[in-house]
Structure 1
């Protein structure tokens, strides 16, 4: 079979398949539940900073442990399940996270916190590439929309961190985390249903027969595709470091600059994250309509003047700027994943694990690095410095167009 025929069969397969919306909404909800468990980690920071007298660097290492474990394991798990799909990996992964949450609620020391955060990282590493695969399987011809539905669940879960702090951890303290085992249990139940659907659906996919694997292998070896992938990873790096700095440390910045309470400071972070979830959802349909490259470039460039202004804004203006930054900057989140998947068709788990895992890894390194820099140079200086990060996204202009990628696939 020629690679051109393989690409056409893949395209025909996607067109013939209807979008399975109920599966997309369930996996999106599970993504929300999974990432709400992860959100417990940064939500703990203001509590642990006081109860265990932790430094910003130690807080950064907690975030680092969560994200680096997930970052390293995601592409490995994705590559393995590309070759040998494991439908029930999803509920197994969430069960591991549930064990981590239970231990975290009663951890008496910094080292024990790190130990149980490791379990949550492993569960996350299993969930994300397999969750992306389920979204791909249920997408039909609506790839951008499907990835957005899936990804907006995760961003919404991340947005819950400030509410978890204000509504659960401030009144109940660290033991209040135990209630999130119920969240994990609900996710496990839903993922058992997804796993059954996944197992039934699997034999009908072209990847199962290897029909497009030749195209994937030859395309992956092209310098142009690899160069485009490197740009995508560079964009993810800049976006992840900026997002991590806001999610993990901006609350401390507004407490110091504006003199607000812990609860009030969480409102700023919540607004950034919830508008990021909205942006993530909108990005996919916009990419389906206007092209993935266009959305990626617009997202980066439009956010630059807003991030410049944020450190110098007053307490009210900061709300509006954070909302716009979250909406615009994170609109490219799901789009970069789909763009990378189309660079390497047939390697959905590997590519999803690499891109999402890389975002986790960059968030991990960023949390430690930014925490250490804040300890060294102070909050204000570093918040001004990180406002420059989106400028690195101008490299998106070097990305090949969507049309060019389709031509690569058809000409292989």
Structure 2
């Protein structure tokens, strides 16, 4: 008796591998923690006018505060990422947030410029732990939708960065430096959430080989091409964050100087810009998952150039509108850049995340310091005219390798 071919085919068919599911509760919890973390961190530049008058600081000293925060984060992030690639620490995020909490309290009580720098360093250390580890957990929870996961994670930070200046304008500026301590509640909430995330991460450690298995979807490039691609991505990060430093650190001073508006009004304009950054972040990752990250990177960095060139010549209304467009377009790049880099070097998520977050923070810090000194010498408006051409570096995206679109899970 012959056996039908359909039966033979069905009995010999190899079951399809189980598709990992996206752990949205973990991603949303990470996003909330990122919101709280970056909200706290954004208080520092948001209160620069208060610190400038209270401690009689010049623009160079303001830039040095930012440099201390950013360099602390940038130097430690790759080291922490490399360490936790080899030896995962499920509760390191809790310790990092503890450093941020201590820095926040010190910032509220610091009586001198030197202690302001120490507080900035403690907050930077917390950031150095938070960003590479959270990015690793976001990738682990992505279920293969890496761009979406990074965007969800990143948007929390952008919302927090946008909310910080608004809260500073209405809570800290009227009440003074000591009121910064009220935000310790946000750090405590983040510590509680990160403890629960640490429990989940610890349970995933026996199956963390899933993260390494993603190398199957990556292009096998030569070492030289990978290095060139990473250098190009680094230059794009330089362009993006050097320009963003001109807005995040000095936008309020620019508006107050050029248009004569109040501190609170300038803070509201900064909130609008940072809100646009948050919107751009959530857009970039999913689009990169669908059409390819190279196209998102290309369009984001170079595509913002016409708007940055127009900005120094605009009135107050058009300045606001242009910064919204700049924020949306420019912010869409980072998730795509980060995931692109992670796929270039599979199995080294922590190191790559730490390297790129750290480099981004470092460029922001160096940019703030250089632009602060430049503003003291040639004026804040002239600085914006020079920075307008930074996105032209986006032309380097031409040298990024083309990558096939991975199958959606």
Normalising by structure 1, report the TM-score.
Answer: 0.91
| Aligned-partner SS, 1:345 | coil
Are 2:33 and 1:30 aligned? yes
Confirm or deny: 8 A CA contact 2:43 2:165 kept in the other structure.
no
C-alpha distance in 2, partners of 1:167/1:147? Answer: 31
What's 1:361 paired with?
A: 362
The alpha-carbon deviation at position 142 of structure 1 amounts to: 0.8
> Hey, what's the Cα distance between the residues in 1 that align with 2:161 and 2:221?
32
Deviations 1:149-208 (A, max 9, x none): 001111111112320331112111111100111110000000000000000011112168
Aligned residue in 2 for 1:197? 200
Q: Structure 2: how far apart are the matches of 1:26 and 1:38?
A: 18
CA contact (8 A) 1:207 1:346 kept: no
- CA–CA separation in structure 2 for the residues paired with 1:220 and 1:100: 43
- CA shift digits 1:275-295 (9 cap, x unpaired): 111100010111011110000
Kindly name which structure, 1 or 2, has the bigger radius of gyration based on alpha carbons: 2
Change (3 A) 1:333 1:351: same
Q: How does 1:44-193 map to 2 (within 5 A)?
A: 44-193=47-196
Quickly say closer, same or farther: Cα 1:350–1:219, change in 2 above 3 A.
Answer: farther
Gaps of 5+ in 2: 1-15
Which 5+ residue runs of structure 1 have no aligned equivalent? 1-11, 407-412
Contact 1:34-1:154 within 8 A present in 2 as well: yes
Displacement of 1:215 in angstroms is 11
What does 1:229-268 align with in structure 2 at a 5 Å threshold?
229-268=230-269
Question: What is the number of equivalent residue pairs in this alignment?
Answer: 391
Q: Please list every run of at least 4 consecutive aligned residues from structure 1 whose deviation after the TM superposition is greater than 2 angstroms.
A: 210-216, 218-221
State the alpha-carbon separation in 2 of the partners of residues 397 and 381 from structure 1: 30
Q: CA deviation at 1:224?
A: 0.3
| Contact 1:132/1:349, CA 8 A, preserved across alignment | yes
1:219 positional shift: 6.2
- State TM-score, norm by structure 2: 0.92
Secondary structure at the counterpart of residue 402 of structure 1? coil
Please give the secondary structure, in 1, of the residue aligned with 2:40: helix
Counterpart CA distance in 1 for 2:119 and 2:248 is: 21
